[in-house]
Amino acid sequence: MSIEEKILELCLELPPPSPQGGIYKSVLVIDGLAYFSGHGPYKSDGTLYLGKVGDEVDQEFATQAARQTGLAILANMKKYIGSLNRVKRVVKLLGLVNSAPDFHAHPAVINGCSELFAEIFGEDNGIGTRSAFGVTALPGNMTVEIEGIFEVS
């Protein structure tokens, strides 16, 4: 089953590709690796998941935000590389969580994205290396921001 078919089977909805918010490339492909800049939890209606975890929103909300960020990454991936079927594997994710000082479950939040990619690409190819940590603020008060590296054909 192709990746595009798997997304349909899972009844997942990719949001429209997110707008670029600065002077950078959203994706850069070099030697079979696609490097994706930080993406936020961009929803199909053009809004974002907003709020500081442990203060304004809870961990469950933040985990959903991380999952939505994974969908936003896939939407931009499709825009920039053409077909998600070109993705061979997830290589690396870096997750930032907008969190209160006493919130410490950053890896559990970013699992929302990691679990999504494992569902889509399978455990062997959907789980790569990863870092997750908390920050005091993210642009526009986004709940999470995730960047990634993917091997592509």
User: Does residue 20 have a pLDDT over 90?
Assistant: no
Return the CATH number of 3-152, one of 3.30.1380.10, 3.30.1330.40, 3.30.420.40, 2.120.10.30. Answer: 3.30.1330.40
Residue 22: its pLDDT value, please? 86
pLDDT single digits (tens) 72-106: 999 999 999 999 999 999 999 999 999 999 999 99
Q: Is the pTM of this model over 0.75?
A: yes
Domain ranges of the chain: 3-152
Using H for helix, E for strand and C for coil, what is the string for the chain? CCHHHHHHHCCCCCCCCCCCCCCCCCEEEECCEEEEEEECCECCCCCECECCECCCECHHHHHHHHHHHHHHHHHHHHHHHCCHHHEEEEEEEEEEEEECCCCCCHHHHHHHHHHHHHHHHHHHHHCCEEEEEEECCCHHHECEEEEEEEEEC
